[in-house]
Amino acid sequence: MEEDEWGKLIENLMKEGILQSPNVIGALRSVPRTTFLPENMRSYSAVDTPLPIGFGQTASAPHSFSLLAGLGETWFQ
């Protein structure tokens, strides 16, 4: 279920043109964010928003990371 939601999020980022390069897409598929979240945040893993990880810090929103790591990504300003 969670993996499906993660897959759907990736599809959406691809449709929006935020994710384009095959190596970034493949890496995101291999490394879902959920493993890296505190337990109470895991159900939000596939929501495209930053999530608290404690110590006043956040895990990046998937679209932000896609843009940073990305190749040929669309950048909105």
Partner 1 sequence: MVSIMNEALQLEVGNKVLEVGAGSGWHAATIAEIVAPSGSERSQWGHVYTVEIVQGLADIARKNIMKAGYGDRVTIISEDGSMGYAEKAPYDRVLVTAAAPDIPKPLIEQLKPTGIMLIPVGSASLFQNLIRITKGRDGKIKEENLGGVAFVPLTGRYGQRF
Q: Under a CB-based contact definition with an 8 Å cutoff, are residues 25 and 9 in contact?
A: no
Query: Could you tell me the CA-to-CA distances from 7 to 14, 53, 54, 77 in Å, in that order?
Result: 11, 22, 26, 26
Task: Give catalytic status of residue 21 as yes or no.
Answer: no
The yes or no reply on residue 37 touching partner 1 (CB under 8 A) is yes
The yes or no reply on residue 30 touching partner 1 (CB under 8 A) is yes
Closest approach, Cβ 12 to partner 1, in A, equals 17
Q: Under a CB-based contact definition with an 8 Å cutoff, are residues 61 and 75 in contact?
A: no
Q: Which is nearer to partner 1, 4 or 56 (CB)?
A: 56
Q: Which is nearer to partner 1, 11 or 71 (CB)?
A: 71
- Known catalytic residues are 60
